[in-house]
Structure 1
Amino acid sequence: MIRNTRAARLPVPLAVALAALAAPALAKTSGPSSDWGFELGAGTDNRSKAASKSGNDGYVFGAATWESADGRFYAGPGFETIQAGGSRFETELVAGYRPEAWGYAFDLSLAYKNRWDVDPGYDADGWELTGDISRAVGPAEARLQVQYSPDAAGSTRSFTWVEAQLAWAFSPRLEGSAAVGRREQDGAPDYTGWNAGVTYALTDALALDLRYHDTDAHTFGEQYEKALVAEVAYAF
């Protein structure tokens, strides 16, 4: 476990600004077809693995992602607002690889997550390994995700999350999807969570998502209760 190091931090707006300023130079040195992409968004609740990370309140998020010329490698920083252990911001650095084989698409990534300005004694950071396998047939797509952390932030130590998702493209702009997952964790409740909703692309850059989330762990706190969540995301 890497402990929180205050001296190494940058404010979130500054980190995103530096990534934006570095993008043209990095794109040139990486080849003419490599590229940076950016995303900003907001939602009525920050749901992760069906549970709330923002105290069932609204949140904002953003990311800057570099992608290789062939689209297989990617890396970059991101942030989101949360409510946990006294912290209101969580940042991450992620790197991944997206190969294809036998008609399936794979996405393998490693992320380092860090919660800022936590209460004394709170475990502020952790590593997460994620593996996705998906396949599309016509308008339908199926995906299986397996995620593991040896020591997550907060009281949770190791955890495993396994989620299956089915999606259907009703039109080039409208997609519906549903997912169910199981989280087994050390130091926090085990539970099953699910969601279902629709995503609509208003433009090539602006998308809206409306989704219902729920778990079987309501007795463990408000973060596990059902919620209807609306999000908007702008990619550029």
Structure 2
Amino acid sequence: MKKTLLVAAVAFSALFAGSAAMAQDDAGSLSFNIAATSNYVWRGVTQTNNGAALQGGADYSKGIFYAGTWLSNVDWGTSTSTEADFYMGVTPKVGDYGFDFGVIYYTYPGHDKADAGSIGELKAAVNHPMGKGTIGAAMYLPTESLENPYYEINASYPLTDKLSLSGAIGNYESGAYSYTDGAGATISAMGYTTENIGVTYSLTDALGLDLRWTSASRLPSTFAATLKATF
């Protein structure tokens, strides 16, 4: 299982936001994003040894169909240094319920065979309005074994027009995980629960700042500041 450059993100978004507008017509819509984070945390576990990451991706959508790709640097103390994800799915609605059924493929270009290899997951998620906010649930199932799912419940609520609060609680029922912390100590877990809570502030229509605390049982808690631009 795998899974502050803030100035760089601002410079990049300022360079391209003016010229790379979202393309939208009968063929669908295409959008791009770039982010800088002080710590890339995935399901409660740092993927960059508590270091910074520069990330970006592209998304295509038409009707209920979507597809996209996303990249980030990683640091596991091994030869793996890059993560490239690919995903696709559909987002049907039934009444007030929104669904998301898809597949995600995590790859690590140039990884050593001793490192974690590429993995796939099936995704099933649902969300529903709750007052001004939203509540949802999701499950991710490995495509190779169809065992040891990760599932979570999540919620978000707007505090003001620009500030929103969100969080999630997730759980791996089983499956081993080993993590080497910054001091070189190895921490192992067999199944764990993770939770996160944070606020997101919209600096502009295209630029947002997220401040988030994350914890996972038997693993160190983390804090990350992420600046993300979408265009």
Band the TM-score falls in, shorter-chain normalisation: 0.7 to 0.9
Residue 61 of structure 1 corresponds to which residue in structure 2? Answer: 55
1:226 aligns with 2:215: no
2:176 touches 2:191 (CA, 8 Å); kept in 1?
Answer: no
Alpha-carbon distance, 1:120 to partner: 3.3
Alpha-carbon distance, 1:32 to partner: 2.6
Residue 131 of structure 1 corresponds to which residue in structure 2? Answer: 124
Percentage identity across paired residues of the two chains = 22
Residue 99 of structure 2 corresponds to which residue in structure 1? Answer: 106
- The correspondence for 1:176, drawn from 159, 165, 171, is 165
TM-score, normalised with respect to structure 1: 0.78
Equivalents in 2 of 1:193, 1:126: separation in Å?
21
> In structure 2, do the counterparts of structure 1 residues 158 and 61 end up closer, same or farther at CA, with 3 Å as the change threshold?
farther
1:116 touches 1:124 (CA, 8 Å); kept in 2?
Answer: no
Letter in 1 for 2:75: Q
* Coordinate RMSD, CA, aligned: 2.1
Alpha-carbon distance, 1:33 to partner: 6.0
SS at match of 1:159: coil
Alpha-carbon distance, 1:75 to partner: 0.7
Residue 74 of structure 1 corresponds to which residue in structure 2? Answer: 66
Letter in 2 for 1:166: A
> In structure 2, do the counterparts of structure 1 residues 33 and 172 end up closer, same or farther at CA, with 3 Å as the change threshold?
farther
Letter in 2 for 1:199: T
Q: How far does the alpha carbon of each residue in 1:37-91 deviate from its partner, in whole angstroms, 9 at most, with x for none?
A: 00000101111111111111111111111110x3x11112211111134211010
Q: How far does the alpha carbon of each residue in 1:75-131 deviate from its partner, in whole angstroms, 9 at most, with x for none?
A: 122111111342110101111100100310111111111112222333420111111
| Equivalent residues, number | 198
Moved runs in structure 1, 4+ residues, more than 3 A? none
- The correspondence for 1:121, drawn from 100, 114, 123, is 114
Q: Which runs of 5+ in 1 are unaligned?
A: 1-20, 219-224
> In structure 2, do the counterparts of structure 1 residues 184 and 83 end up closer, same or farther at CA, with 3 Å as the change threshold?
farther
Residue 164 of structure 1 corresponds to which residue in structure 2? Answer: 153
Letter in 2 for 1:60: L
The residue correspondences of 1:29-48 to structure 2 (distance < 5 A) are: 32=26, 34-48=28-42
Alpha-carbon distance, 1:158 to partner: 5.0
Q: Which runs of 5+ in 2 are unaligned?
A: 1-19, 178-189
Q: How far does the alpha carbon of each residue in 1:179-234 deviate from its partner, in whole angstroms, 9 at most, with x for none?
A: 1111134343210110111001111100000011111123xxxxxx1111100100
TM-score, normalised with respect to structure 2: 0.79
Structure that is richer in helix per residue? 1
Alpha-carbon distance, 1:138 to partner: 3.1
Residue 207 of structure 1 corresponds to which residue in structure 2? Answer: 208
1:150 touches 1:159 (CA, 8 Å); kept in 2?
Answer: no
> In structure 2, do the counterparts of structure 1 residues 101 and 54 end up closer, same or farther at CA, with 3 Å as the change threshold?
same
